[in-house]
Amino acid sequence: MFDIDLRSDTVTRPSDAMRDAARDADVGDDVYRDDPTMNDLERRAAALVGCEDALFVPTGTMGNQIAAGVHADPGSEVVADAEAHVVRWELGGLARNAGLQTRTLDAESGVLTPEQLHTVCHDADLHRPGTGLVCLENTHNARGGLAIPVDRIRAAADAAHESDVPVHLDGARLFNACVALDVDPAEMVAPVDSVLFCLSKGLGAPVGSVLAGSEAFVDEARRLRKLHGGGMRQVGIVAAPGLLALENRTRLAEDHEHAARLAAGLDALDGLSVPTPETNIVVADVSDAPFDAPAFVDACADRGVGCGAIDDACVRFCTHLDVDRAAVETALDRIETICTGST
């Protein structure tokens, strides 16, 4: 459809090495815990983020939903940013899957503050449900791929823990944040009780995410994964590419460089306003252009460039391992013809 696809880093294709690894993987029945490749992946993933144990899940959404179900009792509240992925993009799963209700706050800077959490976290009483979980996100997708510093994650987590409320980190793009901030993943995850990160997206695996935490947390998460239909059999064929994906962490810096170049080039075009991105997500405001965001996206598609409208005013571009510097420059040249009205 697009020869330069910047809609999302989810569009990456597995490398030849990943395809070979999948074909040659040593496999077994993972429900019986005897798939050696998956066992290796979960051990390595847990060690990478400094957790006792880890669990492979097919998708990040499933991982977030399982984490909420483990941490919070039905009927309790989940506190999250109003723009968080678990609130906006997971089909109301907190309510449907775990019987939880959400209390949303505005975390414009990407993370809830201790003051906000001290105000909202509370015990159950005769009239109100108690706070069962706080969800944080890093990087923050809907707020432009913000990389949240670990001290701010820690401050939020400490505030929640003061009220005996556990904290889950939706780290779908965790390693983008760690690379951007030059922070070890285990240090970033240390303040929270569980973390979810994707093996796909910028790391390039064809499928899969990892949910990590304490041994007790993962034991219960494994039961809930089964409940969600996620008990799988010979999954070494997807674990093997996942192991290779873990080695792609440092190359995320290239995606950030390409995003910065893309943002600068777009910002220089008439009608577009584009802040410098912190990671690999570029958000262009087209409010001053003679077209709205959906029309701009359609015009880009006509020129072979994939992107997506966030709303009527903003368009998102996402760099990834299948887009090199030459592709970024070509995309800018094509988009310039939209802004100048040339053909």
Query: Residue 201 and residue 172: Cα distance in Å, rounded?
Result: 8
- Asked if 209 and 265 sit in the same domain, the reply is no
What is the pLDDT averaged over residues 63-80?
A: 98
Residue 342 has pLDDT above 80, yes or no: no
Query: Residue 314 and residue 180: Cα distance in Å, rounded?
Result: 23
HSE-CB for 152 with a 13 A CA cutoff: 17
Averaged pLDDT score across all residues of the chain: 97
Q: Which of 248, 282, 304 delimits the end of a domain?
A: 248
DSSP annotation string for 276-295: PPSSSEEEEE-TTSSS-HHH
- Asked if 209 and 294 sit in the same domain, the reply is no
- Asked if 214 and 260 sit in the same domain, the reply is no
pLDDT value of residue 98? 96
> Residue 341: which pLDDT band, with cuts at 50, 70 and 90?
confident
Q: What is the pLDDT of residues 286-337, one digit of tens each?
A: 999 999 999 999 999 999 999 999 999 999 999 999 999 999 999 999 999 9
Query: Residue 135 and residue 195: Cα distance in Å, rounded?
Result: 10
Q: Which of 196, 225, 248 delimits the end of a domain?
A: 248
CATH code (residue 301): 3.90.1150.10
Q: Which of 191, 215, 248 delimits the end of a domain?
A: 248
What is the pLDDT averaged over residues 128-157?
A: 97
- Asked if 195 and 282 sit in the same domain, the reply is no
Query: Residue 254 and residue 180: Cα distance in Å, rounded?
Result: 11
Domain count, the chain: 2
> Residue 108: which pLDDT band, with cuts at 50, 70 and 90?
confident
Residue 80 has pLDDT above 70, yes or no: yes
- Asked if 170 and 308 sit in the same domain, the reply is no
- Asked if 263 and 209 sit in the same domain, the reply is no
| Tokens 């939706």 sit on residue | 170
pTM across the whole model: 0.97
Reduced to 3 states (helix: H, G, I; strand: E, B; else coil), residue 213 is: strand
What is the pLDDT averaged over residues 99-105?
A: 97
- Asked if 231 and 293 sit in the same domain, the reply is no
pLDDT value of residue 117? 98
Q: What is the pLDDT of residues 19-30, one digit of tens each?
A: 999 999 999 999
CATH code (residue 123): 3.40.640.10
Query: Residue 158 and residue 117: Cα distance in Å, rounded?
Result: 10
pLDDT value of residue 1? 78
**Enclosing domain of residue 44:** 16-248
Which ranges of 163-279 does DSSP label H, i.e. alpha helix? 174-181, 185-189, 215-227, 236-246, 252-267
pLDDT value of residue 343? 59
- Asked if 308 and 227 sit in the same domain, the reply is no
Query: Residue 164 and residue 148: Cα distance in Å, rounded?
Result: 23
- Asked if 29 and 102 sit in the same domain, the reply is yes
- Asked if 244 and 277 sit in the same domain, the reply is no
